[in-house]
């Protein structure tokens, strides 16, 4: 079983508009509304593949019930802790003409000490039946930045592999515990380091610093849907199939979901990466994040090119 942790879930509303005019009324005919958050999106991808997955985190209010019902309607098992505040709503505006995206992201609810204790208790119990845990997204208000590090440490005590797909100080702390695989949010890492990580060499340098904690691989992407995979003993440049991109929202989440599926089935990391990039590509062809079609992913797999860098 796979455990997908999203501490700060959301309702994601995605609008597609021909143009975005500032200080004007913008009317849209195309929009979608989904449950969101990195771990939740990965859980939906895994569920589509027939993998048993449990979604965990904090939810609250009417929005929280929507998130839970959205997942249960799609037969994803949930084990959320309810909090007093409302689950956040995120808005993404896609300019159809130039493909630019504008995101408006809420902070999310306040989580109190009892909420956190309840979550940790549930998390530990669920780990006894899990083989891999995905920990993704932002940290809600009032939760210490070392929370992901704590979750990795608990998983390690249960011999459960960990995948971190997060940002900010929470990501930086989690890395120090030595999770198996990490996918950093580059903007957040740049903020921590105080410099741009906009070249391949800089990405490799950051990864090499991460490896001292025992991390097995660092995943960078998607950048134009391409990925850079850095391991201690080799580096892969991964080129995605050529497509017309509709939206990049959720593409990294699809990558993680399909990658974890292959690892769960004991396939090689290279096979897992190939599947993940194909899923990321498929996700980019639509605005409905949950609609990654496994058959479409299979079509793209043969077009994913992996080149080892000397």
Kindly list the structural domains of the chain, giving each domain's residue range(s) and its CATH number in brackets, ordered by start.
2-220 (3.40.1190.20), 221-310 (no CATH)
Q: Which parts of the chain are beta strand (E)?
A: 2-6, 10-17, 30-36, 53-60, 77-78, 81-83, 88-95, 101-104, 132-137, 161-166, 181-184, 217-223, 226-230, 235-239, 305-308
For the ranges 15-19, 117-121, 136-140, 252-256, the lowest mean pLDDT is seen at: 15-19
Q: Are 136 and 165 in contact (CB under 8 A)?
A: yes
Nearest to 172 by CA among 111, 227, 112, 213: 213
From residue 9, give the alpha-carbon distance in Å to each of 30, 152, 259: 23, 19, 21
Model-level pTM? 0.94
| Residue 192: pLDDT over 60 | no
The pLDDT tens digits for 109-143 are 999 999 999 999 999 999 999 999 999 999 999 99
């Amino acid at each position: 079983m796979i455990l997908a942790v999203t501490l700060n879930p959301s309702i994601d509303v995605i609008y597609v508009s021909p143009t975005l005019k500032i200080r004007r009324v913008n009317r849209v005919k195309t929009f979608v509304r989904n449950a969101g958050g990195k771990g939740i999106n990965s859980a939906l991808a895994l569920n589509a593949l027939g993998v048993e997955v449990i979604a965990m985190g904090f939810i609250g209010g009417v929005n929280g019930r929507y998130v839970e019902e959205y997942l249960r309607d799609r037969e994803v098992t949930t084990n959320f802790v309810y909090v007093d505040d409302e689950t956040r709503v995120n808005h993404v505006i896609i300019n159809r003409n130039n493909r630019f995206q504008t995101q408006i992201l809420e902070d999310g609810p306040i989580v109190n000490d009892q909420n956190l204790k309840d979550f940790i208790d549930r998390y530990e119990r669920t780990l006894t039946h899990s083989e891999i845990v995905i920990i993704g997204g932002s940290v809600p208000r009032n939760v210490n930045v070392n929370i992901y590090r704590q979750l990795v440490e608990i998983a390690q005590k249960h011999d459960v592999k960990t995948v971190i797909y997060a940002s900010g100080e929470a990501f930086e702390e989690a890395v120090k515990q030595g999770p198996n695989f990490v996918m950093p949010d580059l903007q957040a890492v740049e903020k921590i380091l105080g410099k741009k990580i906009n070249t391949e060499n800089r990405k490799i340098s950051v990864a090499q610093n991460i490896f001292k904690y025992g991390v097995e691989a660092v995943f960078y992407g998607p950048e134009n849907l391409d990925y850079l995979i850095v391991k201690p003993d080799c580096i892969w440049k991964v080129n995605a199939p050529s497509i017309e991109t509709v939206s990049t929202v959720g593409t990294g989440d699809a990558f993680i979901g399909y990658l974890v599926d292959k690892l769960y089935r004991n396939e090689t990391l290279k096979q897992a990466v190939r599947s993940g990039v194909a899923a990321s590509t498929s996700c980019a062809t639509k605005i409905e994040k949950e609609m990654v079609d496994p058959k479409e992913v299979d079509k793209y797999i043969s077009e994913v090119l992996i080149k080892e860098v000397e």
